[in-house]
Structure 1
């Protein structure tokens, strides 16, 4: 159901709803991992005491269990916009791609390019929210609430501060979405066809494989593989983007700064950030925080695609039986 298919039965407006619901579910489940991911990405490597376990312990002891959901409200809006728009733009672009070139023989390339376009649109839509959200995770009191957070970001660097890391986000999210959608759209149908053959020996039509159980398993495996590959390929840009998003952040003694938010690394230029990461610890420096990021990427991709597919499936099934 992800991407355009000639016999598609789910309208675009229902897919937009499915994308929004998928974003809400995914954000709530993955928010603690996102907090750990962002904190670990911003750490100065010289701060040896703050391992992943050390960061978790520090957050819990200094800020309490609710700190793992700092930035969650803005994050929910961010997720609704990003997830619904990424699926909607992808659905619309693949629909047009199917009409204007030989999609049958260039399917993988077409889905990859449509995914890139989707990712670029999403990065542009959500960068201001992402900047506020990252800074709320860093120091909640200083950026508390959407309105106060937006004012604090504006005071730190004007309107341009809301788009810190935007270009890096485009460079990262475009290829990441391209790889994710292309791999998912290639692997999931193969799994569904095989499930159908194992069940009945042959399939008259691919849609016969679309029952709930098969859909969940195929989506889980395909989404997990796609998320893993795309995140590994684009991770150095993700690391740089986070450090660019706090370029104009200035700690204020008026607000409590947790240990996990002290001595963070801030960058002003993409190339300088990449070079500095490499100088600090070689190739490992470009992949600082990768372990929790991969875990978060796996959980995010699996929940996003599985929820999206199931909601589309349920709405289509409900429409047939209504």
Structure 2
């Protein structure tokens, strides 16, 4: 079970392994959705008649760049996902362990879990921001940012060392509360669903998380992840949009590299507050939720795969 439990027999090393493996599996499956999401978020507003649907964007990418375009930036994405997911689970497990070992009053349990989630999200956002900047640009113009070292050099040339932390503030403001909401909602729902599935009596209330049947664990984790992913992503989405637009602030198109149709006329920002206010002025309040549809699809699938695979990896590691 995610979070600290007195009956938990897993070591921190086992949990970080489970988190890293979960992140790798999740990234491979959801990468195409990430490519679609980022290109939709960064596209300039057009008239409704000219605005591309998700299907049209997918078709454009496929015809212009081929099937493998949906996995542009995948290698960096794997590094990002392993670091991000592993650090989130590790920091959350560690902080909840120390917090609940030193605090006996369960009255503040949900508040403590929320604060631990903010800590986990903030640490993760800081750790992966440089990788994320390179990865986002690779998904836009692969040739210009091809490979890790070449991509890093291209980012450095565009804006110096600070270019690697473009969008950092928005990332922390988004991921801190988002992880907090996700873990809090998941930690609240999963035990309730498990208890319901087991039709628990007073005798089985003390059952350890790894003693639950795998199919019940899978279903409870999937349902908890579905709800927590939707809630957290919708609440924090404007910061996600702003982060992406900030991460390409210093990006400059070079004529010697082919730029796909879906990676032209991008919206860039250099200041978080101005980015949000300009988006509202130009695109209206709903402009803050551009690309929400594909983002929700990605968030739900990501959360379901992440939490269920994490729980199942934990289950396997303690057996």
User: Within 2, Cα distance between the matches of 1:220 and 1:201?
Assistant: 25
Runs of 4+ with deviation above 6 angstroms: none
User: Within 2, Cα distance between the matches of 1:214 and 1:258?
Assistant: 45
What displacement does 1:210 show? Answer: 1.5
Aligned match of 1:290 in 292, 295, 299?
A: 292
Q: Which residue number in structure 1 is paired with residue 252 of structure 2?
A: 250
Q: Is this contact kept in 1: 2:276–2:288, CA < 8 A?
A: yes
Give the SS at the match of 1:141. coil
Q: Which residue number in structure 1 is paired with residue 91 of structure 2?
A: 89
Give the SS at the match of 1:299. helix
Q: Gaps spanning 5+ residues in structure 1: where?
A: 318-322
Q: Which residue number in structure 2 is paired with residue 26 of structure 1?
A: 26
User: Within 1, Cα distance between the matches of 2:205 and 2:137?
Assistant: 53
Q: Is this contact kept in 2: 1:267–1:273, CA < 8 A?
A: yes
| TM-score (norm: length of structure 2) | 0.96
Q: Which residue number in structure 2 is paired with residue 203 of structure 1?
A: 204
Give the SS at the match of 1:2. coil
User: Within 1, Cα distance between the matches of 2:222 and 2:282?
Assistant: 37
Asked whether 1:146 is paired with 2:148, we answer: yes
Q: Is this contact kept in 1: 2:95–2:116, CA < 8 A?
A: yes
What displacement does 1:82 show? Answer: 0.5
What displacement does 1:106 show? Answer: 1.3
CA-to-aligned-CA distance 1:148-170 (integer Å, 9 cap, x gap): 00000000000000000001100
Q: Is this contact kept in 2: 1:193–1:206, CA < 8 A?
A: no
Q: How does 1:213-252 map to 2 (within 5 A)?
A: 213-252=215-254
CA-to-aligned-CA distance 1:63-108 (integer Å, 9 cap, x gap): 0000000000000000110011100000000011102223522111
Aligned match of 1:263 in 257, 265, 269?
A: 265
Deviates most, 114-123 or 9-18: 9-18
Q: Is this contact kept in 2: 1:50–1:260, CA < 8 A?
A: no
User: Within 2, Cα distance between the matches of 1:261 and 1:6?
Assistant: 50
Q: How does 1:116-195 map to 2 (within 5 A)?
A: 116-195=118-197
Deviates most, 175-184 or 47-56: 47-56
Q: Is this contact kept in 1: 2:27–2:77, CA < 8 A?
A: yes
What displacement does 1:206 show? Answer: 3.4
Q: Is this contact kept in 1: 2:39–2:262, CA < 8 A?
A: yes
User: Within 2, Cα distance between the matches of 1:279 and 1:102?
Assistant: 49
User: Within 2, Cα distance between the matches of 1:98 and 1:220?
Assistant: 26
Q: Which residue number in structure 2 is paired with residue 110 of structure 1?
A: 112
Q: Which residue number in structure 2 is paired with residue 46 of structure 1?
A: 46
Aligned length: 316
User: Within 2, Cα distance between the matches of 1:104 and 1:201?
Assistant: 19
Q: Is this contact kept in 2: 1:235–1:287, CA < 8 A?
A: yes
Asked whether 1:17 is paired with 2:17, we answer: yes
| TM-score (norm: length of structure 1) | 0.95
> Would the alpha carbon gap of residues 103 and 13 (structure 1) be closer, same or farther in structure 2, given more than 3 Å must change?
farther
CA-to-aligned-CA distance 1:198-245 (integer Å, 9 cap, x gap): 7x7962523376110110000000011000000000000000000000
User: Within 1, Cα distance between the matches of 2:249 and 2:129?
Assistant: 14
Q: Is this contact kept in 2: 1:196–1:202, CA < 8 A?
A: no
> Would the alpha carbon gap of residues 157 and 103 (structure 1) be closer, same or farther in structure 2, given more than 3 Å must change?
farther
User: Within 1, Cα distance between the matches of 2:42 and 2:36?
Assistant: 10
